Structure 1
């Protein structure tokens, strides 16, 4: 299906002012050198409590295309993107009525949120590194939705930035890296109605270190006729 695109968010991610209004959940160490470098600021000994989520403080429409450039710098670790995120009663994820989140993963899939979440660099555990996939899930709950192969190499072989593209149009979600389609899934409402508008956020599992740049988000509209 063809659509019209309108750029609604454009962030180079090159300096502190670019993310000064983003919402940090958990402790993030960030720096800038040709892009936004993100890693955890807490000791890895804290395990699942050392991870974090970083939200764009803006609600996006239901039909969107998200693009960014990504390069892994240190592993093991995992990188994930949340989208269509809202509170359990359709309120903002920043509503004071919701429980406070600190980056601990169960707060995101069995807390007060509904969201899609896609893990696209799954190099945290030995089993993930042995057979590399991208996994799409839907919450509330930890519902497995779809899986695709992960072409991203380990850090020592990552010689360039990779172009990541995620499209949510109506109830269909597609995911690409360097324009290679990896995942294509239609939400038929098996675990609740398809999710619509909401927030976008990025997540890393410690001790992952990665660099991001050139984030763009487009609103999509079905072409007339």
Structure 2
């Protein structure tokens, strides 16, 4: 085990970085992430919460998830680092706008799950894996998570990366597996939400593979 964080109180977010106009709270003893209401319709209301740790290329990331309010969309960024190898926190400030993460000054993978932002996403639930720089959709699989109305939780999410093989599973059900022949070499991970999504998170664990 490389890292464990219960995400149960504000003290557990020491060193974390929130990008975008969002709010964190712990009403049920677990991290609740949400965007603040916006008066300006042109302003991007989406948020990213970064863990301060850097991790190597071969890891498993596990966390517990509860969908609280939809529509919206949830993403986990991982192996995020500057395009020249810089620490993510040393790059230019970001504000949560999606383009800054897939066509900005960083490289990363991201897996999007609980994709319920647009009608097409709500009609057919999938999990997507993208690689950046760029907006390259490299893998896709089914999302078994129910709508908020029927959700109980917690749902156990697990992402593993080993020698370029990336596998994502929800409650032990594998959604997709894909091999990158030119894998990224590690970096930071972060939780992203598209407003008006509200999600709860707990028990973040990262282990070496």
User: Is the CA contact 1:48–1:105 (under 8 Å) kept in the aligned structure 2?
Assistant: no
1:5-24 paired onto structure 2 within 5 Å? 7-24=1-18
The residue number in structure 2 matching 1:92 is: 87
Local SS of the residue matching 1:160: coil
Matched, 1:198 2:191: no
Secondary structure, aligned partner of 1:17: helix
CA-atom RMSD in angstroms:
1.2
- TM-score under structure 1 length normalisation: 0.89
Distance 2:94 2:37 in 1: 16
Task: Give the length in aligned residue pairs.
Answer: 208
Counterpart among 22, 30, 34 of residue 28 in structure 1 = 22
Structure 2 residue runs of 5 or longer lacking an equivalent are none
Equivalent residue of 2:141, what SS? Answer: strand
Find the partner of 2:70 among 65, 70, 75. Answer: 75
- Structure 1 or 2, whichever has the larger Rg, is 1
Q: Select which of 126, 147, 166 maps to 2:119.
A: 126
Q: Distance in 2 between matches of 1:82 and 1:21?
A: 17
In structure 1, what is the Cα distance between the partners aligned to 2:195 and 2:42? Answer: 8
Q: Which runs of 5+ in 1 are unaligned?
A: 1-6, 221-225
The alpha carbon displacement at 1:141 in A equals 0.3
Matches within 5 A, 1:50-199: 50-95=45-90, 98-188=91-181, 193-199=182-188
Deviation, 1:155, is 0.2
Give the superposition deviation at 1:43. Answer: 1.7
Offset of residue 47 of structure 1: 6.0
Separation in structure 1 between the aligned mates of residue 45 and residue 65 of structure 2, nearest angstrom: 21
Change (3 A) 1:44 1:38: farther
